[in-house]
Amino acid sequence: MRVQARYIMKRESKTNAARLLDKAGVVYELIPYDVDENDLSAVHVAAALGEDIAQVFKTLVLHGDRNGYFVCVVPGGDEIDLKQAAQISGNKKCDLIPVKDLLPLTGYIRGGCTPIGMKKQFPVYIHRSCLAYPFIYISAGQRGLQFKIDPNELIRVCRGILYK
């Protein structure tokens, strides 16, 4: 029998992504942090959480020239390598989508994007370094809230493909 998810915020404050994890039987914690609207970077999130940036992952949405939209989950301190992203996704080239397209496409805003529960299921590529940790942090679907989650569970629930 799985342990119920632990969370710090009120039940009605759960995000749609958290409800999806509950439904999938995933154990996680919801961890709030103070948002700086002028700095939505993963580096700021790691500092606000008091955690190593290597354990804080960011979700990026890209568009490839051959296979359309896909998602990369990368370490928070890293920049996306577009050439590598294109290669792993079966594209010749790709680009990050414009910020203005993020909400209509995924249902999430910049600084609150998670690969869990997007409007449409896109292929998700997750950086292999996540497996070096018993848990990682990833957006819970809104600014100011992170999931503390076993990376294997994230891979399972997102049907993620490991790369690098």
**Mean pLDDT, residues 4-21 taken together:** 68
Cα dihedral 3, 118, 124, 42 in deg (nearest 10): -80
Is a pLDDT exceeding 60 seen at residue 29? Answer: yes
Query: How many CB atoms lie under 10 A from the CB of residue 48?
Result: 18
Is a pLDDT exceeding 50 seen at residue 10? Answer: no
Is a pLDDT exceeding 50 seen at residue 85? Answer: yes
Is a pLDDT exceeding 80 seen at residue 13? Answer: no
Amino acid at position 140, single letter: A
Is a pLDDT exceeding 50 seen at residue 122? Answer: yes
Is a pLDDT exceeding 70 seen at residue 19? Answer: yes
Question: What pLDDT is stored for residue 12 in this prediction?
Answer: 46
- Please tell me the distance from the alpha carbon of residue 56 to that of residue 39, in angstroms, as a whole number: 15
Question: Which domains, ranges and CATH numbers included, belong to the chain?
Answer: 6-163 (3.90.960.10)
